[in-house]
Amino acid sequence: MKYIDEFREQSLAHKLAADITAEVKPGRKYRLMEFCGGHTHAIFRYGVQDLLPSHVEMVHGPGCPVCVLPISRIDQAIALASGEDIILCTYADMLRVPGSNQGSLNKARAAGADVRMIYSTQDALQIARDNPDRQTVFFAIGFETTTPPTAVAIMQAKQEELSNFSVFCNHVLTPAAIRSILDTPEAVPLDGFVGPAHVSTVIGTKAYECFAADFKKPVVIAGFEPLDIMQAILMLVRQANEGRHEVENEYARAVDRDGNLKAQKLMAEIFKLRPSFEWRGLGEVPDSALAIREEYKAFDAEKRFSIEWKEAKEIRGCECGAILRGRKKPLDCKLFGTICTPDNPMGSCMVSAEGSCAAYYSYGRFRSAA
Partner 1 sequence: MSRRYVSPLNLKHGCVDLTHGSGGRAMAQLIEDMFVKHLDNDWLRQGNDQAQFLVAEGRMVMTTDAYVISPLFFPGGDIGSLSVHGTINDVAMSGAAPLYLSASFVLEEGLPLKLLDNIVASMAKASKESGVPVVTGDTKVVERGKADCIFITTAGIGIVPEGVDISGDHAQPGDVILLSGTIGDHGVAVMSKRENLEFETTIHSDSAAMHGLVADMVRAVPGIRCMRDPTRGGLAATLNELAGQSGVGMALKEADIPFKPEVRAACELLGLDPLYVANEGKLVAICPKKDAEKLLETMRAHPLGQDAAIIGEVVEDEHHFVQMQTGLGGNRIVDWLAGEQLPRIC
The residue ranges that bind partner 1 (CB under 8 A) are: 1, 4, 8-10, 13-14, 36-38, 44-51, 65-66, 91-93, 96, 117-120, 123, 141-143, 145-146, 198, 226, 341-343, 353-354, 358, 361-366, 369
Q: Using the minimum distance from each CB to partner 1, give the nearer residue, 114 or 217.
A: 114
Cβ at position 28, least distance to partner 1 in Å: 23
Nearer to partner 1, 75 or 93 (CB): 93
Least Å distance, CB 45 to partner 1, is 6
CA nearest 54: which of 21, 77, 82?
Answer: 21
> 7 vs 208, which CB is nearer to partner 1?
7
Least CB distance from residue 156 to partner 1, whole Å?
17
313 closest CA partner among 354, 347, 274, 351: 347
CB of 205 to partner 1, least distance (A): 19
**H helical segments located in the chain:** 10-23, 37-46, 65-68, 71-81, 105-110, 121-130, 147-160, 174-182, 198-203, 209-214, 226-242, 261-270, 301-304, 320-324, 356-364, 366-369
Report the distance separating Cα 62 and Cα 162, nearest Å: 35
Cα–Cα distances in angstroms (integers) from residue 133 to residues 84, 85, 154, 288, 363, in the given order = 12, 8, 19, 35, 45
Q: Give dist(CA 213, CA 182) in Å, integer.
A: 12
Residue 145 vs 239, nearer CB to partner 1: 145
CB of 96 or CB of 325, closer to partner 1: 96
When the beta carbons of 184 and 344 are compared against partner 1, the nearer one is: 344
| Shortest Å distance, C-beta 265 to partner 1 | 22
Find all residues with CB under 8 Å of 261, minimum gap 6, and list them. Answer: none
Spatial distance between the Cα atoms of 352 and 240, rounded to a whole number of angstroms:
32
**Among 254, 251, 268, 36, residue whose Cα is nearest residue 147:** 268
In the bound complex, what is the minimum distance in angstroms from residue 92's beta carbon to partner 1? 4
Q: How far is the CB of 60 from partner 1 (least distance, A)?
A: 15
Rounded Cα distance between 217 and 25, Å, is: 18
Our CB check for partner 1 shows the closer of 193 and 360 to be 360
